[in-house]
Structures are given as structure tokens and as C-alpha cells.
Amino acid sequence: MTDPTTAVGTGGRTRSLGADAWHDLRRRPLFLVAAGLITFLLVMAAFPQLFTSVDPTVGDLSRAREDPSAQAWFGYDHLGRDVFARTVYGTRVSIVVGVLATTAVVGVGAVMGLVAGFAGGWVDALLARIADVFFGLPFILGAIVVLATFRASVGQSVIGISGLVIGTIGLLSWPIVMRIMRSAAISARSQDYVKAARALGASPWRIIYRHMLPNTIAPVMVYATIALAAFIGAEATLSYLGVGLRDPVVSWGVMISEAQSYLRTSPHLLLFPGAFLVVTVLAFVLLGDAVRDAFDPKGR
Amino acid sequence: MGRYVLRRLLQLVPVFLGTTFLIYFMVWALPGDPLAGKCGDQTCPPAFVERMREEYGLDRSIVVQYLTYLGNLLRGDFGENFRGQEVATLIANAYPVTIKLAVVALVIQAIIGLTAGVLTGLRPGGFLDNVVLTATLFLVAVPVFVTGYVLQSVLGLRLGLIPPTVPADPGFVDLIVPGYVLGSLSLAYVARLTRTSIAENLRADYVRTATAKGLTRSRVVGVHLTRNSAIPVVTFLGADFGTLMGGAIVTEGIFNVRGIGGLIFGSIQRLDGVVVTGVVVLLVMIYLLANLVVDITYALLDPRIRLD
């Protein structure tokens, strides 16, 4: 995985690991299903107006907790808001939080891991210990403490609340990427191509950026796809606990959290956001599985 | 071996200090006045504030406070919260239930996960393999609280097979469904890990040797193959024990189990920082020790791995 892997393709041309993986991916039915689902969800996240013309935040108490009907496909919630509209609008927040949290985790973790792996010595020891500190915090407990601590300081704005959740997930998850990247960087450091670059007088940053990064990023990308699914679930779990996203923000986790008290009488309040959540996470898990298999030369 | 354990223990010290200081700092230094709201709607009388500040050392710097806390902790004193309850007592009341729940979850994971993994790993690509693969995908995709609510309302409320909430002092049988819910995610990982491990080792030399010397298939699989393939699974389960206890908060909330999760959640809502720090510090300690024990077990189970 570490040297610039090339494979002879069917047409006789050489392909990079990435191109080879892409070639492999396009033939997997599970990948196509997952990609189709994700495209659909992304469209829904980008243009919720295409799917519903109802405002998700307008409630009418006279129709509170009405069952699904032709008028409102998914029924109304405890404040008489349209559950279908809320579910559609919730897609955006859930996916944005997942994507941004993954970006943050990969960004911070990859940089720290590369630097630690490349530098070695005391820099490596220090960064590894810092990572251990954050790694030692159990995820949900740590997240509850962080979110409860900063809850008051972000106020009621949608961006503030979402940003806090993204930051919390990032803060507690980057050590995993850092460890993956660090071990990849350590094995890459002693490879011939790095030595060659060094002998040619390349600066450390150039070696890291131009030579090591392209050859160590594959395992991190695989983790990132799987982590994306996990982070969408994590956002929902934290919102469900009442410490994550909250009311002005519309998300599936918030909806499930509000549905808790009406579980016996109105199970549809839980069912619809829950089903969307499960399908979304499933789509990203499938994608992650397919990507991992495609990047793993052993499995071919 | 002894030196390795000693070195790992020494490495734990800075991590432990860092983690606990982080928690302590977040709970105590940031959210403003810890005494705010302690006197109902009125502002607290100055005399009260004075006394509490002195008693809890709030007038000193955060580092001094932390060091004092740590010193007390080393003597086994978790401190008292603002209502005068001993944190150690609160933890001692809540902890056994959480441990029981985590143990039940672990046993369920081990039994179902290992069985499914061994059966599918022996015939990769077969019908059962595809069924289990799909099932694990769903287990990974469904968040714990959805699983919990669905099982609670279907098994508990509609079918009446189990009580929807767990009684005050639950036995192991009462905890089977909550334990399954808690362990469902890791269950999928155990099944997949076992499957991969078995499928890989199936072609190993020692399996061929065992078959060649005429052992029955059940003995080859049961003794030689499973024992060697179980090593990564055992280590995963060990590391998972710490995670399960930290993650039990959701399951405990749904099934009304009075464990550590409920304690910490209530404490955060009451701004009871002493209890929060106490519980988190304890869980961090268990998490770190569990990981250490796992690494040592790894070497004990697989003599090819040398620790030094």
C-alpha cells in the first residue's frame, strides 16, 4: 500500500491505486445502490423545497400528533408541525454535521499523524501522548461534558449550535485518524522514494506534502467513509440525549428526542425520522464497505 | 514482561493526568459560577457563598484545586457534592448495575457474534454468509436508541414478553434485552472480525496439518481453528468493556436502569460538578486499564507476540 502501487489494467495501461479502486467500485452493485441513495439524500439536503412546500417550523396545535394522512404523509408532531417537511429539512443538518465533522477529524488527525510519523523523536512522543489523552475519554461521556460546558456560550443560532456539535465530535475523534496516519507515515518514512526525495534536497514540507501524503492517505479515506456514517449516528444520539442539536435546528435526532414522550400513542413520530436516519447511515456504511474492499489489495 | 507492564503503567500516568485535568477544567473552570442557582430563585446570601467557597476551595486557582482533588483521589476520597452526599457512595450504589449490564452485553456479543462469525467464516460466500453480512450492516446502521425503543415498544408494550423497564434491583435475566441493545453495535463487529479471522486462518498450515493427521473436522474447527482465530476477538471484547460502560447511558435511559449513566446525566443537569468529575475520572481509569490488560492478554494468548 505504501509505495506508488500500479496495476496493469485490462487495456494494458497502468493505473494508480485510486484509479484501480474506482474501476473496481463501478462494478459493485452494493456501491451503486449506496451511491444512488446518497445522491438522492444529497439532493434532498441541498434542495428540500423540491420535496415539500410546507414550512417545517410552523406548528398548529389543533392538529398536534395527528396520524399520517393524505394531507400530511408522515402526520403531525406534538406541536402540530408537519413531520414529512421536518424529516426532509432534517436531512440537510444531519448530512452537513456528518460531512464537516469528518472533514475536521481527517484534517486535524492527518496533519498530526503525518507530522508525528515524519518527525519521530520527542515531537512524535508528545503528539502521541496528546492523542492518548483525547483517546482516553469515552466518546459519549466526553461529548456530554463538552457540550454541557459550552452550551450557554453558543446561544440560539443554528450555526453556533451545529458548530459546537461538529467541534465536539472532531475533538474526541481525531486521535483515531492520527494513529492510522502515524503508522502509515512511519512505514513510509523509510521507503526508498522518501530517501530519494531527501537526497535530492526536497524540504520536509515538500516530502510530506508531495511524496508521503499521496501514499498514506488511502487508509484514512477508508476510515473517513465509515466514520461519516458513525458521525451522523453520533449527532442523532447526542441530540436524542438532549445535549446535541436543539430546537431551532431541525434534525432527525432532535425529532426523535421530541418523540420520546409520545412513544406509546404516536409511534409515527419516532418511526419516520428513525427510518430516514437508518437508511442514511446504512448507505454510508455500504459505501465505506465498498471503498474499503476496493482499496484493499488482499481482497482482490 | 514485567518491565513492559511497568513501562505501560508509567505511560498511563501522563495520559491519566491529562484526561482528568481536561475534564476537571471543563467542569469547573468554564461554565461560570458553580454556586449559581444553588439557592433557588434568590441570589445566595454572601455568608453562604463565603462558606461554600472556602469549603470547596473555589477561591483558589484551578490548578491548585485540581491538585487537591487528585491528592484526595489517591487516598480514595472522591469528595462530597454540594448537597453533602458522598460521591463514593453514589458511585457505589450505581456502579454494580452498570457492570452487570456491560457483562450481559459482553456475553451476548461473545456468544452470538462468535457463533455467527465461525459459521460464516467456514463458508465465505455462502447463503448464511450473505444473511449475516446483511444483518451486521443493519446492526451497524441502526442507532442504539432506535433499537432500544423498537424492542421496548414491540417486546415490552405490544407483546408483553418483557417488562418495558427494568426493576430497581435487576438480575441478569432482566438485563438480557437491555444488554442486547447495548451490545448490538459491537455484536456486528465481533461477527465480522471472527469471520475474517476464521476465513484467513482456514488456509493456515496448522489447519492443514491437523486435518492431515486425521482429526475430525469438529476438532480441527473447534480446537485448532477457533482458538487461534479468537485472539483478535478477545482483545476487541476486552477493549469494548470500557466503551460499553461509557456508552451505557443511552440504554440505561431507555430501560430506566439506575446505573452510572443516569447518575452522570442527572448530575450534569443539576450542575453537580463533583459527581461528574468523579464518575468520568473513574470511567477513564477503567478504560485505560482495560486497554492495558488487553495488550497483555494479547501476548499471553499468542506466544508469537513479544512484549518488550
Q: Do A146 and B26 touch (CB under 8 A)?
A: yes
Work out the average pLDDT over A178-188: 88
Taking contacts as CB-CB distances below 8 angstroms, the residues of chain B near A173 are: none
Measured between alpha carbons, how far is A49 from A53 in angstroms, rounded to an integer? 6
Measured between alpha carbons, how far is B285 from A7 in angstroms, rounded to an integer? 47
Minimum distance, in Å, between the CA of residue A40 and any CA atom of chain B = 18
Give percent of chain B above pLDDT 90: 8
Work out the average pLDDT over A88-112: 91
In this predicted structure, what is the pLDDT of residue A168?
Answer: 92
Residue B80 has what DSSP assignment? Answer: B
B57: pLDDT strictly greater than 70 = no
User: Which of residues A300 and A83 earns the better pLDDT score?
Assistant: A83
Residue B307 has what DSSP assignment? Answer: -
A106: pLDDT strictly greater than 90 = yes
Q: Do B27 and A256 touch (CB under 8 A)?
A: no
Locus of grid cell 482516553: A136
Nearest-by-Cβ selection for A236 from B143, B157, B287: B143
Q: Do B276 and A145 touch (CB under 8 A)?
A: yes
pLDDT tens-digit readout, A35-81? 899 999 898 888 888 877 777 777 777 777 777 777 767 777 777 78
Residue B25: pLDDT band by 50, 70, 90 thresholds? confident
Alpha helices in B257-304 (DSSP H): 260-269, 273-301
Residue B304 has what DSSP assignment? Answer: T
In this predicted structure, what is the pLDDT of residue B42?
Answer: 66
pLDDT tens-digit readout, B133-146? 888 888 888 888 88
Q: Provide CB contacts within 8 A for A10, sequence distance 6+.
A: none
In this predicted structure, what is the pLDDT of residue B306?
Answer: 66
- Pick the closest to residue B16 from B246, B238, B289, B297 (CA basis): B289
With vertex at residue B111, the alpha carbon angle to CA B282 and CA B164, rounded to the nearest 5 degrees, is 70
Taking contacts as CB-CB distances below 8 angstroms, the residues of chain B near A240 are: 143, 145, 250
In this predicted structure, what is the pLDDT of residue A178?
Answer: 92
Q: Kindly report the number of other CB atoms within 10 A of residue B291's CB atom.
A: 20
Give yes or no for B191 touching A (CB within 8 A): no
Q: Do A138 and B15 touch (CB under 8 A)?
A: no
Which range of A146-155, B103-112, B156-165 scores highest in mean pLDDT? It is B103-112
ipTM over 0.90: no
User: Which of residues A203 and A61 earns the better pLDDT score?
Assistant: A203
- Residue of chain B minimizing CA distance to A141: B246
Give percent of chain B above pLDDT 70: 92
Measured between alpha carbons, how far is B207 from A161 in angstroms, rounded to an integer? 56
User: Which of residues B152 and B246 earns the better pLDDT score?
Assistant: B152
Minimum distance, in Å, between the CA of residue A273 and any CA atom of chain B = 10
Q: Kindly report the number of other CB atoms within 10 A of residue A85's CB atom.
A: 22
Contact A91, A48 (CB under 8 A): yes
pLDDT tens-digit readout, B294-304? 878 777 777 77
In this predicted structure, what is the pLDDT of residue A98?
Answer: 92
Residue A169: pLDDT band by 50, 70, 90 thresholds? very high
For residue B302, give the amino acid letter.
D
- Pick the closest to residue B301 from B195, B230, B236 (CA basis): B230
B292: pLDDT strictly greater than 90 = no
Residue A99: pLDDT band by 50, 70, 90 thresholds? very high
Sign, CA dihedral A58-A63-A65-A69, equals negative
The mean predicted confidence, pLDDT, of chain A is 82
pLDDT tens-digit readout, B33-49? 666 656 666 667 777 77
Q: Kindly report the number of other CB atoms within 10 A of residue A247's CB atom.
A: 12
Residue B147: pLDDT band by 50, 70, 90 thresholds? confident
Q: Do A138 and B242 touch (CB under 8 A)?
A: yes
In this predicted structure, what is the pLDDT of residue B212?
Answer: 92
Work out the average pLDDT over A128-134: 87
Find the largest Cα–Cα distance for chain B.
Answer: 86
Phi, psi (deg, nearest 5) at residue A246: -145, -175
Measured between alpha carbons, how far is A44 from A52 in angstroms, rounded to an integer? 10
Contact A191, A81 (CB under 8 A): no
In this predicted structure, what is the pLDDT of residue B254?
Answer: 85
User: Which of residues B54 and B225 earns the better pLDDT score?
Assistant: B225
B75: pLDDT strictly greater than 70 = yes
Taking contacts as CB-CB distances below 8 angstroms, the residues of chain A near B138 are: 278, 282
Minimum distance, in Å, between the CA of residue A227 and any CA atom of chain B = 12
Nearest-by-Cβ selection for B30 from A149, A240, A260: A149
pLDDT tens-digit readout, B98-126? 888 999 999 999 999 999 998 898 887 78
Q: Which of the residues B146, B196, B260, B280 would you substitute to probe the A interface, choosing the one with the greatest number of A C-beta atoms within 10 Å?
A: B146
Measured between alpha carbons, how far is B191 from B233 in angstroms, rounded to an integer? 9
In this predicted structure, what is the pLDDT of residue A11?
Answer: 47
In this predicted structure, what is the pLDDT of residue A100?
Answer: 94
pLDDT tens-digit readout, B166-216? 777 777 888 889 999 999 988 998 998 898 888 888 888 989 999 999 988
Q: How far is CA B307 from CA A128, B3, B8, B296, in A?
A: 19, 9, 11, 8
H, E, C per residue of chain A = CCCCCEEECCCCCEEEHHHHHHHHHCCCHHHHHHHHHHHHHHHHHHCHHHCCCCCCCCCCHHHCCCCCCCCCCCCECCCCCEHHHHHHHHHHHHHHHHHHHHHHHHHHHHHHHHHHHHHCHHHHHHHHHHHHHHHCCCHHHHHHHHHHHHCHHHCCCHHHHHHHHHHHHHHHHHHHHHHHHHHHHHHHHCCHHHHHHHHCCCCHHHHHHHHHHHHHHHHHHHHHHHHHHHHHHHHHHHHHHCCCCCCCCCCHHHHHHHHHHHCCCCCHHHHHHHHHHHHHHHHHHHHHHHHHHHHCHHHC
Give yes or no for B154 touching A (CB within 8 A): no
Lowest mean pLDDT among A135-149, A188-202, B45-59: B45-59
Q: Do A144 and B22 touch (CB under 8 A)?
A: no
